Protein backbone atom coordinates (compact mmCIF):
# COMPACT_ATOMS: atom_id res chain seq x y z
CA UNK A 1 0.00 0.00 0.00
CA UNK A 2 1.23 3.47 -0.84
CA UNK A 3 1.98 5.86 1.98
CA UNK A 4 -0.19 8.49 0.25
CA UNK A 5 -3.44 7.70 -1.56
CA UNK A 6 -5.19 10.33 -3.69
CA UNK A 7 -8.28 8.82 -5.26
CA UNK A 8 -10.36 10.61 -7.90
CA UNK A 9 -11.99 9.81 -11.24
CA UNK A 10 -9.31 10.78 -13.74
CA UNK A 11 -11.47 10.46 -16.85
CA UNK A 12 -14.29 12.45 -15.28
CA UNK A 13 -11.77 15.11 -14.27
CA UNK A 14 -10.48 15.45 -17.82
CA UNK A 15 -14.06 15.60 -19.11
CA UNK A 16 -14.97 18.40 -16.70
CA UNK A 17 -11.94 20.41 -17.77
CA UNK A 18 -12.83 19.91 -21.42
CA UNK A 19 -16.44 20.97 -20.79
CA UNK A 20 -15.34 24.01 -18.76
CA UNK A 21 -16.91 22.59 -15.62
CA UNK A 22 -15.61 22.55 -12.09
CA UNK A 23 -14.16 26.06 -12.03
CA UNK A 24 -11.32 26.68 -11.26
CA UNK A 25 -10.63 23.70 -13.51
CA UNK A 26 -9.26 21.55 -10.72
CA UNK A 27 -12.40 20.58 -8.82
CA UNK A 28 -13.20 16.88 -8.47
CA UNK A 29 -14.54 14.60 -5.74
CA UNK A 30 -11.40 13.31 -4.01
CA UNK A 31 -10.36 10.92 -1.24
CA UNK A 32 -7.05 11.67 0.50
CA UNK A 33 -5.43 9.08 2.76
CA UNK A 34 -2.06 9.01 4.50
CA UNK A 35 -0.76 5.80 6.07
CA UNK A 36 -4.26 4.35 5.80
CA UNK A 37 -5.96 7.21 7.66
CA UNK A 38 -8.68 9.27 6.00
CA UNK A 39 -7.57 12.89 5.90
CA UNK A 40 -9.89 14.09 3.15
CA UNK A 41 -13.20 12.59 2.06
CA UNK A 42 -16.82 12.50 3.14
CA UNK A 43 -18.38 10.01 5.57
CA UNK A 44 -22.13 10.55 5.84
CA UNK A 45 -23.55 7.23 7.03
CA UNK A 46 -23.14 4.92 9.99
CA UNK A 47 -21.91 2.25 7.56
CA UNK A 48 -18.74 4.37 7.18
CA UNK A 49 -18.90 4.43 3.39
CA UNK A 50 -16.25 6.90 2.25
CA UNK A 51 -17.10 9.24 -0.62
CA UNK A 52 -14.98 11.81 -2.38
CA UNK A 53 -15.21 15.38 -1.13
CA UNK A 54 -14.89 18.23 -3.64
CA UNK A 55 -11.28 19.38 -3.86
CA UNK A 56 -9.46 21.74 -6.21
CA UNK A 57 -6.58 19.45 -7.15
CA UNK A 58 -4.41 22.23 -8.51
CA UNK A 59 -4.79 24.02 -5.18
CA UNK A 60 -4.13 20.75 -3.35
CA UNK A 61 -0.81 20.21 -5.10
CA UNK A 62 0.11 23.90 -4.97
CA UNK A 63 -0.29 24.10 -1.19
CA UNK A 64 1.23 20.75 -0.33
CA UNK A 65 4.28 21.39 -2.53
CA UNK A 66 4.82 24.91 -1.16
CA UNK A 67 4.56 23.50 2.37
CA UNK A 68 7.03 20.70 1.64
CA UNK A 69 9.54 23.12 0.11
CA UNK A 70 9.29 25.23 3.28
CA UNK A 71 9.81 22.26 5.61
CA UNK A 72 12.59 20.62 3.55
CA UNK A 73 14.41 23.95 3.57
CA UNK A 74 13.49 24.54 7.23
CA UNK A 75 12.37 28.02 6.26
CA UNK A 76 15.86 29.31 5.54
CA UNK A 77 14.84 30.80 2.18
CA UNK A 78 11.18 29.86 1.87
CA UNK A 79 9.55 31.36 4.97
CA UNK A 80 6.67 33.81 4.57
CA UNK A 81 5.61 36.10 7.46
CA UNK A 82 2.03 34.81 7.50
CA UNK A 83 2.93 31.11 7.91
CA UNK A 84 3.08 31.23 11.73
CA UNK A 85 -0.12 33.28 11.97
CA UNK A 86 -1.95 30.72 9.82
CA UNK A 87 -0.75 27.92 12.11
CA UNK A 88 -1.83 29.86 15.20
CA UNK A 89 -5.27 30.31 13.66
CA UNK A 90 -5.60 26.55 13.01
CA UNK A 91 -4.52 25.78 16.58
CA UNK A 92 -7.09 28.22 17.94
CA UNK A 93 -9.94 26.68 15.96
CA UNK A 94 -9.10 22.98 16.18
CA UNK A 95 -6.84 22.57 19.19
CA UNK A 96 -3.98 21.00 17.25
CA UNK A 97 -1.03 20.20 19.52
CA UNK A 98 1.73 21.76 17.42
CA UNK A 99 5.09 21.93 19.22
CA UNK A 100 7.19 23.88 16.71
CA UNK A 101 5.16 26.71 15.23
CA UNK A 102 8.17 28.04 13.32
CA UNK A 103 8.48 24.82 11.33
CA UNK A 104 4.81 24.29 10.59
CA UNK A 105 2.57 25.16 7.66
CA UNK A 106 -1.23 25.49 7.63
CA UNK A 107 -3.56 24.86 4.67
CA UNK A 108 -7.01 23.57 3.76
CA UNK A 109 -5.49 21.68 0.79
CA UNK A 110 -8.47 23.20 -1.00
CA UNK A 111 -11.03 20.93 0.65
CA UNK A 112 -13.72 23.46 1.57
CA UNK A 113 -14.34 22.36 5.17
CA UNK A 114 -10.94 20.92 6.12
CA UNK A 115 -7.84 22.19 7.86
CA UNK A 116 -4.31 20.79 8.10
CA UNK A 117 -1.06 21.71 9.79
CA UNK A 118 2.13 20.11 8.47
CA UNK A 119 4.82 20.18 11.16
CA UNK A 120 8.46 19.08 10.91
CA UNK A 121 9.97 16.94 13.67
CA UNK A 122 13.65 17.72 12.99
CA UNK A 123 15.03 15.10 15.39
CA UNK A 124 13.25 12.22 13.64
CA UNK A 125 13.07 13.80 10.16
CA UNK A 126 9.34 13.10 10.25
CA UNK A 127 6.35 15.03 9.01
CA UNK A 128 3.54 15.40 11.53
CA UNK A 129 0.19 16.00 9.84
CA UNK A 130 -2.50 17.44 12.11
CA UNK A 131 -5.85 17.21 10.36
CA UNK A 132 -9.46 18.25 10.71
CA UNK A 133 -11.83 16.62 8.20
CA UNK A 134 -15.02 18.69 8.38
CA UNK A 135 -17.23 16.33 6.38
CA UNK A 136 -16.47 13.25 8.42
CA UNK A 137 -19.84 13.06 10.14
CA UNK A 138 -19.28 9.59 11.61
CA UNK A 139 -16.06 8.49 13.25
CA UNK A 140 -14.56 5.10 13.98
CA UNK A 141 -10.94 4.92 15.10
CA UNK A 142 -10.38 1.27 14.16
CA UNK A 143 -11.45 2.06 10.59
CA UNK A 144 -8.89 4.86 10.39
CA UNK A 145 -11.74 7.38 10.24
CA UNK A 146 -11.72 10.31 12.61
CA UNK A 147 -12.88 13.90 12.28
CA UNK A 148 -9.66 15.17 13.87
CA UNK A 149 -6.33 13.50 14.40
CA UNK A 150 -2.62 13.32 13.71
CA UNK A 151 -0.42 11.07 11.61
CA UNK A 152 3.39 10.81 11.47
CA UNK A 153 5.24 9.86 8.29
CA UNK A 154 8.87 9.95 7.12
CA UNK A 155 9.39 13.33 5.42
CA UNK A 156 11.58 11.86 2.70
CA UNK A 157 9.11 9.14 1.70
CA UNK A 158 6.12 11.45 1.85
CA UNK A 159 7.87 14.01 -0.35
CA UNK A 160 8.77 11.37 -2.92
CA UNK A 161 5.19 10.14 -3.19
CA UNK A 162 3.67 13.63 -3.39
CA UNK A 163 6.05 14.65 -6.19
CA UNK A 164 5.15 11.47 -8.10
CA UNK A 165 1.42 12.19 -7.68
CA UNK A 166 1.88 15.80 -8.79
CA UNK A 167 3.84 14.74 -11.88
CA UNK A 168 1.19 12.13 -12.72
CA UNK A 169 -1.46 14.83 -12.39
CA UNK A 170 0.39 17.15 -14.77
CA UNK A 171 0.71 14.30 -17.24
CA UNK A 172 -3.04 13.65 -16.98
CA UNK A 173 -4.00 17.24 -17.83
CA UNK A 174 -1.12 18.20 -20.14
CA UNK A 175 -3.27 18.17 -23.29
CA UNK A 176 -6.34 19.76 -21.72
CA UNK A 177 -7.52 23.09 -23.06
CA UNK A 178 -7.58 25.55 -20.17
CA UNK A 179 -8.09 29.30 -20.66
CA UNK A 180 -4.79 31.13 -20.28
CA UNK A 181 -5.90 33.14 -17.24
CA UNK A 182 -6.71 29.90 -15.37
CA UNK A 183 -3.84 27.76 -16.66
CA UNK A 184 -1.78 26.79 -13.63
CA UNK A 185 0.32 24.01 -15.17
CA UNK A 186 3.55 26.02 -15.50
CA UNK A 187 3.16 27.20 -11.90
CA UNK A 188 2.70 23.65 -10.69
CA UNK A 189 5.83 22.58 -12.55
CA UNK A 190 7.77 25.30 -10.74
CA UNK A 191 6.48 24.11 -7.35
CA UNK A 192 7.64 20.58 -8.18
CA UNK A 193 11.02 21.94 -9.24
CA UNK A 194 11.39 23.78 -5.92
CA UNK A 195 10.61 20.66 -3.88
CA UNK A 196 13.13 18.63 -5.89
CA UNK A 197 15.76 21.32 -5.28
CA UNK A 198 15.29 21.35 -1.50
CA UNK A 199 15.03 17.56 -1.37
CA UNK A 200 18.42 17.34 -3.12
CA UNK A 201 19.93 19.89 -0.70
CA UNK A 202 18.57 18.02 2.32
CA UNK A 203 19.23 14.41 1.32
CA UNK A 204 21.85 14.64 -1.43
CA UNK A 205 19.60 12.66 -3.77
CA UNK A 206 17.59 13.48 -6.86
CA UNK A 207 13.87 12.80 -7.02
Q: What is the DSSP letter of 140?
A: B
Residues contacting residue 80 through CB under 8 Å, at least 6 positions apart: none
Q: Closest by alpha carbon to 144, among 38, 47, 52? A: 38
- Read off the pTM: 0.92
pLDDT reported for residue 21: 65
> Cα torsion for 7, 8, 14, 16, to the nearest 10°?
-160
Tell me what percent of the residues of the chain surpass a pLDDT of 70.
Answer: 91
Beta bridge partners, 126, equal 121, 154
pLDDT reported for residue 46: 66
| Stretches in the chain below the pLDDT threshold 50 | none
**Contact status, residue 28 vs residue 61, Cβ threshold 8 Å:** no
Amino acid sequence: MSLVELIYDKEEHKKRIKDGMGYPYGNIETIFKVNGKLLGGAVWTEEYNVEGDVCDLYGFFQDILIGLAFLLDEGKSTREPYYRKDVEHSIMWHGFEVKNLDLAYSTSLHFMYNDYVFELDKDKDELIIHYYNGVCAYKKEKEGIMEKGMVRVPLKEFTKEIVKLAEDYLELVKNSEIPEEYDWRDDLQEYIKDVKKYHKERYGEDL
